[in-house]
Amino acid sequence: MGVDSAAKPTTKKHEHKTNPREGAQVEILKPRLRKIAAAIISSLVCVSVLFGTDLYLHHKHGVNIWGYRGPVVGRKQPGEKRVAVLGGSTTWGFGLSAGQDFPAQLQRLLTAHNEKINVLNLGSNSEGAYSFTQTLTDYDYLDIDLVVLYSGYNDLDAPNYYNFRHRSPIFAATGYLPLLPSLTIDKLTVWKQKLMGENVQPVFSPPHLDQDSDSSRLREQLGTLTGKAPQDARPESCSPEYQFYCDRISAAADLALGKGKRVLIVGEPYITDPHVVQQHDLESFLNHRYAGRSQLLYVDLGRTVDLRDQSLCWDGMHLTEEGNRRIAAALSQPVLEMLQR
């Protein structure tokens, strides 16, 4: 019996019918997606430009991404000794290129004796003794053997609570120090002070940028150096005006000593009579508090450089490359002796 062809099952292709409403929604979304993509790309470009500018500023000022001057040091090698120098602009080397500052010059002097000595410049402009404990904590991972505290000038007036690195929440969270925000704020502040006539603090410019720079404004603010010997200080404490300074130096020394490090405390070249008194007080205080502690030493460099000699000091405070060389030379032997203790 034949099979009726009409009774055979037939396969029908299902045709996809586009919903007009769905197509309209897609067309509406396309411009939005393009805007989102453009915003993402623009943001990435802006971040890249800002990051590139920040890296340029690091290179220009000789500051590595982790916030200290000079090259980044890696994992500590067997037999390597590390020296960290803390201080303000005179440590950092304000007005000089990286490598001309005394920590860098000290590095070169010391490597003539031992190739495995690294000197790290942890100084920062305007910082005083208050910042030292924070800086030691921030860079504890560097595994320092000898801490050098080079200070005095930035603690001659009222208590100094300034800490450049801790103005950045990014540094506090990651250890990376962006320079662009802080330097921009500082530049705007200087411009505002000049416009408002509020620039009462001396603002120094490197000699290659301002050939007329001299020490007159600095002397007006701080006073002069007559060379008169200070009166005997009480050995157990500093004068009231310098007690904060002495206490902060002591706090940094205690922190370092507690971690098994050696400490070298250095007085800067004398700048004024109050500075002479300050360092006399500090030395007496340290001799009393740390008597018999061979892990700590105070070195007075007050007479090492004459700040009136413009071949050694270009603005009455900050040293030239040759002035920094003399500081490095004066510190080389004490540093070597402390590393051997």
Asked whether residue 41 is domain-assigned, the answer is no
Phi, psi values for residue 266, rounded to 5°:
-125, 130
User: Are 244 and 128 in contact, with CB atoms under 8 Å apart?
Assistant: no
- The enclosing H or E element of 54 equals helix 20-61
Distance CA 334, CA 145 (A): 14
Which residue range is the domain that position 280 belongs to?
A: 80-339
CA distances from 276 to 1, 30, 103, 244, 313 (A): 128, 74, 23, 16, 18
Of the chain, the end-to-end C-alpha distance in Å amounts to 116
Please give the structure tokens belonging to residue 27.
Answer: 């067309």
The confidence score (pLDDT) of residue 209 equals 36
The continuous run of DSSP H or E covering 42 comes out as: helix 20-61
101 or 232, greater pLDDT = 101
Residue 140 belongs to a domain with what CATH number?
3.40.50.1110
Q: What pLDDT is attached to residue 201? A: 42
Q: Give the phi and the psi of residue 198 in degrees, each rounded to 5.
A: -105, 15
Q: Look at residue 142 and tell me whether its pLDDT is greater than 50.
A: yes
The residues, any chain, with a CB within 8 Å of residue 17's CB and separated by 6 or more, are none
Residue 2 inside a domain? The answer is no
pLDDT in tens, 28-51: 666 777 778 777 887 776 766 665
pLDDT digits (tens, 9 = 90+) for 106-126: 999 999 877 799 999 999 988
Answer positive or negative: Cα dihedral of 102, 105, 110, 111. Answer: positive
The burial of 40, by beta-carbon neighbours within 10 Å (0-12 exposed, 13-18 middle, 19 or more buried), is given as exposed
Helices 321-339 and 102-111 sit at what angle, rounded to 10 degrees?
50
pLDDT by residue (tens digit) across 252-279? Answer: 999 999 999 999 999 999 999 999 999 9
Helix 243-258 to helix 131-138 angle, to the nearest 10 degrees? 20
Rounded Cα distance, 234 and 283, in Å = 11
How many domains in the chain? 1
What's the number of CA atoms in the CB half-sphere (13 Å) around residue 258?
A: 10
Q: The tokens 């490090």 sit on which residue?
A: 261
- Top pLDDT among 7 and 86 is at 86
- Cα(304)–Cα(265) distance, integer angstroms: 15
What are phi and psi for residue 53, nearest 5 degrees? -65, -40
Task: Give me the mean pLDDT over the 64-85 stretch.
Answer: 94
